[in-house]
Amino acid sequence: MRRLVLGNWKMNRTVSQSIALVRSLLPLLPRSADREVAIAPPFTALAGVAPLLKGSAVGLAAQDLFWEDEGPYTGEISGLMLQDAGVTYVLVAHSERRRHLEETDRVAALKVRAALRCGLKPILCVGEDETERAAGRARDVVRAQMARALEGSVPGETPHLQIAYEPVWAIGSGRAATPSQVAEMHDLIRAELRGLYGETGSVVRVLYGGSVTAENVDELMRTPGVDGLLVGGAALHAGQFARIVSYGL
């Protein structure tokens, strides 16, 4: 299984800034057969960045999508539009969208279905907040998020599906989860995937996200069960992101 490192730029960088960042980044990235790299600029920069990535080893991702393919949904972006723009991966239900925009597991399920329907590869984000972890509910929260968001999916779709475990308390805090915490939750997610899909659940990549840096990447990628990374702030700096992608080399 090739590991995936995806940089989520969030609401940062204009079109011109995004193009400049990609041009700085591409020469720094290693070519390695055991890993895959993708970046998720804001919607406005997708069309400007896509031509720069053609012929490179870097894939294009989107940060969100709407659950319908077209229609009277002012301000929304459909999976068909993303596919036409050259997008391969799309984040679904990132914790910031759950928290700030009140996205629910039902919405996540609709978006997973839309992504798969449009030929995109969804990355479903799951994770507990600090209060839930302190109360000993982290496992129950993640288990419920997965069950609801993956309702209706079938084993034949697993090669296109990714799960990102992103503990809410670690995102942007500079405090990544410990290797033991990551291993425990990734084991749980893998068990849930097998329960949902049988042995085909083993092909789903399980990523870790939450304060991933150039300093902790090697330890995180040595953690059992980690099939890749969802990188936030460090992805906005070409040198830092290239170092993260180069883990172990």
160 is a catalytic site residue: no
* Integer Cα distance of 130 and 132 in angstroms: 5
45: left (phi over 0), alpha (psi -120 to 50) or beta: alpha
CA-CA-CA-CA dihedral for 104, 174, 11, 101, to nearest 10: 20
Q: Assess contact for 111 and 83: CB atoms under 8 A.
A: no
CA 121 to each of CA 12, 26, 96, 150, 165: distance values in angstroms, whole numbers, following the listed order: 23, 23, 20, 13, 16
Cβ of 113: how many Cβ atoms within 10 Å?
20
Q: Which of 103, 166, 186, 192 is catalytic?
A: 166
Tell me which long-range contacts 167-170 makes (C-beta under 8 A, separation of at least 24): 167/127, 167/128, 167/129, 167/133, 167/138, 167/210, 168/95, 168/99, 168/127, 168/128, 168/129, 168/130, 169/128, 169/129, 169/130, 169/133, 169/210, 170/210, 170/211
Q: Assess contact for 69 and 40: CB atoms under 8 A.
A: no
Q: Which of 94, 132, 157, 186 is catalytic?
A: 94
Q: Which letter, b or e, does each residue of 65-91 get, where b requires 16 or more Cβ atoms within 10 Å of its Cβ? A: bbbeeeeeeeeebbbbbbbeeebbbbb
184 is a catalytic site residue: no
Enumerate the active-site residues.
Answer: 94, 166
